[in-house]
Structure 1
Amino acid sequence: MRTISKFVFFLFLTWREGSAWEADQQKHARFKRIVGGKEAARPPLDDPIAYIFKEDHFAKVYGSRQGLHPHSYYTFAGLRYAQPPVGKYRFQRPKRVKMEGDVMGIKYAAPCVQPNPDFPSQMIGSEDCLFLNVHTPRLPGSGASLPVIFWIHGGGYRRGSAAQYGGGYLTRRDVVVVTVQYRLGTFGFLSTNDKDLPGNVAMFDLATAAEWVKDYIEFFGGDPANIVPMGQGSGASSAVFMGLSNVTQGRTRGMIAMSGSPLSPFAIDDKPQERSKRLAEKNGCPTTSTIEMVKCLRELSAEKLVAAETELENEEISEKGVQSLGIVLTPAPVVEQTNDKRFLPSYLEEEPRIALDMNHIPKIPLLTGVTKHETAGAVSGRLKINISEQLKQFPNFIKEVLLPNLVESNKRRFYAATSLLKNPLQIFEGKYFAKVQKTLQDEFNQIIEATSDALFNFPAYLISNAWSKQNIPTFFYSFDHIGKLKGVEKLLKGSLLVKQEESTDEEQTAVSHGADLPYLFDLRSLDGTPFAFQNESTPLEPEDEKVRNNLLDLIASFAKNSNELSVDSSGKTTTFPNFISILPESTLGEHFRECQMNLWSGIQVAKPCSPLTAIIKGIDKLFSNITTSTKKKKPDLPKLPRLSDIVKPKP
C-alpha cells in the first residue's frame, strides 16, 4: 500500500511540474507568421530533475544537461554525501547525510585540500569536500536501470578531484558514472596505527559514498544491485580495497583497476607512526603522547599541514631518486588492528598479500590493466637529472643498484622465500636485459622497463593470478596505443609519475601512466573547468577514435555483464592469463610478458626476454655531456558489444 501511495505521489508531482510548464508555454506561445520571424526553438525533451522518494524523506534534485545531441546526458554535480569533516571532526570517520528538500546539483564542489598544482607550496581546496557527482544518460521511467561505475580518482592519495572526470563518453554506452571525492593526504590517511588515530578515514569516505549510491542511484537511472568500483593509480588500489574490505564487500558487483593494485609497493603505508611523527615535528607538535599530538595537528591550519606534507614529500624524492617510485611518499591506507568488537570496525584487517595467500578473496569479477610504459613520464621527466647522475657515478647502476632495490621494495608486499630473494642477480643475469647497454638512451629505456614491471605490471599480474586461481572471472588488458590525445600532464600535474610539461607530438613515443584516461573521460581542471583542447565536437584522429571505442566497449561490457567477455568470436577464452592489447585493432594475446613475469616471480627462464624498444627518444641529446666514471660505493636505496567487436584474435 505504501508503495502505491508513493507512486501516486510521484505521478502527482510529475503532473504538477508538467502542468506548470504547459501553462508557461501557452502564456509565452509563439506562432509562425506568414511573413518574417523564425520558428521558435523546441523546448527541452525533459527537465534535468531527479525525484528522491524514501520512506522518511523526499528530495528534488536539480541538475543540468550536458553534451551535444545525440550524446547529451544529465549531470548532477556537488551532491553532499557526508557532513563536513572540519573542526573536531578532522581525522574522524565521516557522518552520512540524507538528501532532503530542494537540492541544487548544478555546480561542482571544491576539491579536497591538496597542494596547488601550479604553486606546490600553496594550498588549494576545502576540508568541506565530501561530495560526489552523478552523470547519467537517462532518468527513471525511460528504460531499464543501468550499471553504475563508481569512479575513484588517482593522484597518489594526495591529489585530484571528482570534477576532473566528465562522464560524457561512458554515458554513451548506457552506463551511469558516479565520481567521488574523498579526503586526501594527511586529512584522509594520517595514522598512528592505534585507537587514537587508526587512519583510513578516506577509505570510510568511499564506503559512505558507496552507501549513498546504493540508497539513491535508482532515482538517477542506476541499478543499485550493479555497482562497479573503478579507479586509476591509487584509485585502482582503493577500488580493489573496497572488494577486500568487510565494510564494503557486499556493495560491489565487480572491480576495475587501471594502473594500480593493492599489491603495489606504494599502496599501503607500513610506517604510519614514523610518518605522523615527522609531520608533527615539522609543525612543532608534541610526539610523546599520541592524544596530544593528534590534538595539536587538529588545531593547525590546513595550509600548514599541506606545506609540511609537501616538504616531506620533496625530501623523500630528492633523497631516494628513482627509488622513490617504489615507496609511499605521503600518508596512505594502513592495515588496522584486527576488529575486536570493542571499537569501530576496521577497514583493512590484514595485509593484501596475506589476504591473497589465505584465499580471502571475494567472488567478485576483476578487470585490471596497465599502460605499456607506466613509468616513462617519471623517468624522462622529474627524475631524469637524478637518474643521469646515478648512471654517471655507477656504471652498473641498473644491475647492481636498481634491480636489487626494486626486489627489496616488492619483498615486503608479496614475495615468499623464493630464490629471487636469495640471489636476485642470478635470476636476472643475462635474461631480463639481453641487450647490451650501448647508449644512455638504452639505459633509460631499461630503467623504464624494469620499474614498470616491478611497480605496476607484476603486482597487476599477481592479483590477476590470485583471482583466476579461485575461478573468478578475471580479465587483463594492456593499453599499448601511442595516441595524440592530450591532457594527462595537466590532469595529474604534481604527480611524480607524469612529466610536468606537455609532450609534443614528436615526443609522444611512450604510453605512460594515465595515457588511457583521455579515451574514457573528458578531462578537466580540479574545479571542473574543461581543458581548452577538450572539445566534444572536434573530430579525433581515426586511430584515436577506434581506440576510444575499443576501451569504452571493454569497460562498459564488463560493467554490464562480465560473462559476456569470457569468449571471443573464435571460441578462445579471454580470461586471464590471456590479455587484451588495446590498439586501433585490438588483439587477444597469451600470457602477458611471460618471460619477465617469470623472472620477477623467481622462476628461471630458458631464453632471454625480448626487450621493449624505443620507449623514449632523444635522451642522448639532452645529456650529451654525461659520461661514466669510476665505480663508487652504492647508494642506500549502447548495445552490449561482444568481445569480437572489441578485440581480434592474433592469427
Structure 2
Amino acid sequence: MNLRMTIFLLVCLGFSLAEDDIVIQLWEKKGRIRGHVLKSGKGLDYYAFQNIPYAAPPTGQNRFKEPKEPDDWEGILNTTVNERVCMQNNATAYTKIPNSMEISEDCLFLNVYTPMKPGNIEKASLSVLFWIHGGGYLFGSGAFQYYNPKFFIDADVVVVTINYRLGPFGFLTTADGVIPANLGLKDTILAFKWVHRNIHLFGGDSKRITVAGESVGAFSAGYLQLNRELRGKIQGFILESGSPLSPVAIQDDPRHFAFSMGKVLDSTFKSNRSEDLLDLLLKTPAIRISEADVPNDRYTAKVIGRNSIWTPTIENGGNPSAAVTKPMHEALIIGDFIQAPLLTGFCSEEFRIFFKNLTVEEIARIGGSYDQNASYIIDSRLHVADNDVGIAASKYKSIYTNGTFKNDPGAFIRFLSGDTFITPASRHAELASKFSPVYLYQFSYQGVMDGLLYLPNVTGTESVAHTAELKYFFEGVAGHAGDPTDYPESDQLTMKRLLVLWTNFIKYQNPTPNLNPTLENIVWPRVRGDNIQYLNINHTLEILSNPKSYDDVKRVLNNYMNPPLVVF
C-alpha cells in the first residue's frame, strides 16, 4: 500500500471515529456519556444513548427505599448498549428476556434517542416522547431490545424509554413509611425529572415533553397527571389501553400483601412489625423475592391474578414525595390534575390476550364463577350498598348478555375487556375533557404485524387484543419483527397512519391539525363532555360514538356507586 493511500485511509478512519464518538457532558456535573449512531426506519443516522443511570442503584440498604440521585462519575461512561432488565419473574412474562440481557436490581437506567446530533443546545427544539413500558408491573423493560424507536425518529421526535422497579421491588409497601409506597412510580418521576433537566443536550425541548405508556405504562402515565411537582412540565399525555380508574390499577390492602411476602419467604416469620419485615427482605436474595408466590387472597375475582397485588396504592399525603395521595377518579372529577391534552384509547377486544392459553371451556368455567358471585362483577371500590350489589350486577351483566357468562364466553370476554380497560379509559376521557382537550380512539385493525392472529376468538369479528397497536410503532420484543415491507400493504398503511396521528399529537397536541390524504382527510374530534366521540382505527378511519356501550355501563354505575370514588 503506498503512502498516499495509507494517509487517505487514516484520514477516513479518523472521520469515522469522530462521527461515532458522540460524547455529552450531562447537566449538573453527573459525568460524561458516550453514545453511538444507529439507523432510522428510513435509513438515516440517529444518535442513541443507552443505559444512562438516572438513579443510584436500588441495592443493598437502598433496596425498598425511594430512588436517589446517582453519584457523579469520572471519565466517560459508555452508554451504547442495554444490558439489564429490572428484577422480574420471567415465568410470568408473555415474552422471553433477550439472551443478551441480565435480570438485576441495579437497573434504573433510561435511554435517549435523537435525530439531532447533540452539541448545539441553542437548537434544542424537538418534541419529546417519554415512554413508560407495560408488563403488568411484573415484567418488561424500556431497553432498545424491547422498544426500537426508529420510526418515531423519522418524524423528528426525541424518544426516551426507561426502566423502573417491578413487582414487589416497585410496589410492596408497609403503608407506614418503613417501606415506602409506589417505588416504581417514584422511579418514573425521578426519570422524568432527569429528562426535564437534560433533554436539551440531546436536541429536545423541555417544554415539549409528552408522557406516554401502554397498559400499566398507561396507568403510570395517568398517575403522573396527579403529581404536583410536574405541573407545568408536561405538554401532553398518551394513555394506550390503560387508566388509573381500572380495578386492576390500584389496590387498597398493601400491608396485608407485604406481610404475606414475609410469611412466604420464611414460614417462621410471625412479626407484625414493619422493621422486622424490612430486615427480612434486606437479607433475602433478590431472586427469591422476585419468584415468591404470594397468594392473591384479596382480589380473587381479578382473573389477571397477581397484577392486582403489586400495583400502586394511595399514600399518606403528608409525605412530600408521595406519588398518589388521592383516588384518580375524584381528582378527575374536580380537575385536580395536570390539565394537559390527552390522547387515550383501547383495542377492540383487549382481554383476549389474557386468555391466550385457555380453551373455550375453561373460559366458560371462569365465566360461571362470575355468574355465581355478584361481587365479582361489581368491584367493592365502587362502594355499592350491600343490598344493591345483586341488582347492580344483574343490570351490568345484561349489557353484555341476556344469558350467562358460562354459556356465552364471548360476552364474558367483552365484559372483562370493558370492565378492565375500555370503560375506565372512556370515563377518564369524559372527565378529563371538561378541563383539557381529549382525543379517544379504538384500535380495531387486525393485521399480520401484531402477531396475535393465533389467539382464541370467541367474541366475533372485532377482536383486536391488548398490545396489538404497539407492533405498529416499535420493533423489538414489544413491537414487530422484521422489516415493515415484509408485511401486507394494509399493515404498512395502518402503521403509517398510527405514526402520523401519534407524532402529530406529540408535536401539536392535536392528532389531525391538518387534512392529510393518508388519514383520509379525517378530522379527529375532541371528546366533549357527555358526547363521547372517538376515532375507530380499522382498514378505514371512522368517527363513532358511545364506545362499547359506555353510556349503558355509566348509567348503571352512576345509579349505584357511592363516594369515595376510586375505580370505574
Q: TM-score range by the shorter chain?
A: 0.7 to 0.9
Aligned counterpart for 2:323 among listed residues 313, 333, 347 = 347
Aligned partner of 2:341 among 334, 345, 365? 365
- Once the two structures are TM-superposed, the CA of residue 596 in structure 1 deviates from its matched residue by 4.1
The answer to whether the 8 Å contact 1:148/1:178 transfers is: yes
Q: What's the % identity of the aligned pairs? A: 27
Deviation at 1:294, TM superposition (A): 1.0
In structure 1, what is the equivalent of residue 34 of structure 2? Answer: 61
Partner of 1:291: 275
The one-letter code matched in structure 1 to 2:140 is G
- The alpha-carbon deviation at position 432 of structure 1 amounts to 3.8
Change (3 A) 1:507 1:125: farther
User: Which of 236, 261, 273 is the equivalent residue of 2:218?
Assistant: 236
The alignment partner of 1:114 has SS state of coil
Q: Normalising by the residue count of structure 2, what TM-score does the alignment of the two structures yield? A: 0.83
Letter in 1 for 2:60: G
1:311-390 maps to which residues of 2 (within 5 A)?
311-312=293-294, 320=300, 323-325=302-304, 328-339=307-318, 344-382=320-358, 386-390=362-366
Question: Structure 1 residues 566, 432: CA separation in 2 closer, same or farther (over 3 Å shift)?
Answer: farther
Are 1:83 and 2:56 matched, yes or no? yes
Q: Separation in 2 of the partners of 1:162 and 1:364?
A: 24
Report if aligned partners of 1:488, 1:517 keep a CA contact under 8 Å in 2. no
Distance 2:333 2:4 in 1: 66
Q: Which amino acid aligns with 2:76?
A: D
Other-structure match for 1:602: 556
Amino acid at match of 1:468: S
Query: What is the letter of the counterpart of residue 52 of structure 2?
Result: L
| Partner residue, 2:502 | 555
- Structure 2's unaligned 5+ residue stretches are 516-520, 560-568
Counterpart secondary structure, 1:601: helix
Match of 1:479 among 443, 464, 486: 443
Give yes or no for contact 2:34–2:79 (8 Å, CA) kept in 1.
yes
| TM-score, scaled relative to structure 1 | 0.73
The Cα shift of 1:382 comes to 4.3
Q: Per the alignment, do residues 201 and 69 of structure 1 end up closer, same or farther by CA in structure 2, a change over 3 Å counting?
A: same
Superimposed CA distance per residue, residues 255-301 of structure 1 (whole angstroms, 9 cap, x where no aligned partner): 11111101111111211011001110111144321111111111100
Q: CA deviation at 1:64?
A: 3.3
* Residue in 2 that maps onto 1:159: 139
> Secondary structure at 1:148's aligned position in 2?
strand
1:383 and 1:316 mapped to 2: Cα distance? 25
Q: Deviation at 1:544? A: 0.5
Determine if the alignment matches structure 1 residue 147 to structure 2 residue 127: yes
Cα RMSD of the aligned pairs, angstroms, is 3.8
Q: 1:586 to 1:50 in 2, by over 3 A?
A: farther
1:408 and 2:408 aligned: no
Deviations 1:576-621 (A, max 9, x none): 522111123222223323x34323431799xxxxxxxxxxxxxxxx
Could you tell me which residue of structure 2 aligns to residue 246 of structure 1? Answer: 228
SS of the aligned residue for 1:598 comes to helix
Q: CA deviation at 1:150?
A: 0.8
| Cα distance change, pair 45–562 in 1 and its aligned pair in 2 (3 A) | farther
Compute the displacement of 1:139 (Å): 2.1
Cα gap change, 1:68 to 1:556, in 2 (>3 Å): closer
After superposition, the Cα gap between the structure-2 partners of 1:152 and 1:374, relative to the gap in structure 1 and judged at 3 Å, is: same
Q: Using the TM superposition, name which of 444-453 and 352-361 deviates more.
A: 352-361
Paired with 2:500 and 2:386, the residues of 1 have a C-alpha distance of 40
Matched-pair contact (CA < 8 Å) for 2:87–2:286? yes
Alignment partners' CA distance in 1, 2:131 and 2:240: 11
Aligned equivalents of 2:359, 2:199: Cα separation in 1:
43
Give 1:624's aligned residue: none
Instruction: Determine the structure 1 residue equivalent to 2:290.
Output: 306
Alpha-carbon spacing, 1:378–1:139, altered in 2? closer, same or farther (3 Å): same
| Closer/same/farther in 2, CA of residues 113 and 172 from structure 1, 3 Å limit | same
Q: CA deviation at 1:166?
A: 1.0
CA shift in 2, pair 1:363/1:430, >3 Å: closer
The AA in structure 2 aligned to 1:401 is Q
**Bigger radius of gyration among the two:** 1
SS in 2 for 1:597: helix
Q: Which SS does the other structure have where 1:237 is aligned?
A: helix
Letter in 2 for 1:453: G
Deviation of 1:66 (Å): 3.2
- The residue aligned with 1:127 is 105
How many Å separate the matches in 2 of 1:420 and 1:370? Answer: 30
Q: Match of 1:423, SS?
A: helix
Q: Residue in 2 aligned with 1:516? A: 469
> Matched residues in 2 for 1:76 and 1:514: separation?
26
Matched, 1:587 2:551: no
Contact 1:197 1:294 in 2 (8 A): yes
Aligned length: 535
1:383 Cα offset (Å): 7.6
Q: Supply the distance in 2 between the matched residues of 1:129 and 1:89 (Cα, whole angstroms).
A: 13
Taking the aligned partners of 2:244 and 2:366, their CA distance within structure 1 comes to 30
Secondary structure (helix, strand or coil) at the match of 1:63 reads strand
Task: State the SS of the aligned residue for 1:240.
Answer: helix
Task: Tell me if the contact between 1:52 and 1:58 (Cα under 8 Å) persists in the aligned partners.
Answer: yes
Q: Deviations over 1:136-155 (max 9, x none)?
A: 22224496621111111111
Distance change (3 Å), C-alpha of 1:390 and 1:477: closer
Q: 1:43 to 1:303 in 2, by over 3 A?
A: closer
Q: What amino acid is the match of 2:49?
A: F
Distance in 2, matches of 1:132 and 1:571, equals 35
Q: Note the C-alpha offset of 1:387.
A: 2.9
1:229 alignment partner, SS class: strand
Match of 1:108 in 2: 82
1:597-636 to 2 correspondences below 5 Å: 597-602=551-556
C-alpha deviation, 1:572, in angstroms: 7.3
Q: Give, in angstroms, the shift of residue 420 of structure 1.
A: 7.6
